[in-house]
Structure 1
Amino acid sequence: MYSQLRHYGWPPLQAVGHIAFGITLLALGLACAGAELLGGWEQAGRLLTGRG
């Protein structure tokens, strides 16, 4: 994978940034799906604000 990134001219730090951004989006998607499974956005908001 690293050799492919070098072939296309991406510096290693830029590649790491893209990978980290992808992981962040995936984690956000999983968090949203988990909030839906746990009873919706209202309960998730209450949990995050400590009013749970």
Structure 2
Amino acid sequence: MKKLAIVAGTLLVLFFVITQPGSSAALVHNILGMLRDAAESLITFVSNVFQA
């Protein structure tokens, strides 16, 4: 069952990338931007904790 879910998810992602490449690229760009912002926030937090 788990393997079937993984295959179905992969096929869905491939379908989305093939049919709407611009939207897919924008989505990936937004996700990477959010991850970068989260990492920067975490770095700022840790820096402030150890400067005290």
Please state which structure has a larger fraction of its residues in helix. 2
Displacement of 1:18 in angstroms is 0.2
1:31 aligned partner, one-letter code: E
Instruction: Name the residue aligned to 1:47.
Output: none
Residue 7, structure 1, aligned to residue 7, structure 2:
no
- Runs of at least 5 residues in structure 2 that lack an aligned partner in the other structure: 1-9
Percent identity over paired residues? 5
Instruction: Name the residue aligned to 1:36.
Output: 45
Instruction: Name the residue aligned to 1:27.
Output: 36
* Alignment CA distance shift 1:24-1:14 (3 Å): same
- Runs of at least 5 residues in structure 1 that lack an aligned partner in the other structure: 41-52
CA RMSD, aligned part only?
Answer: 2.4
How many residues align? The count is 39
Q: So what's the TM-score if we normalise by structure 2?
A: 0.58
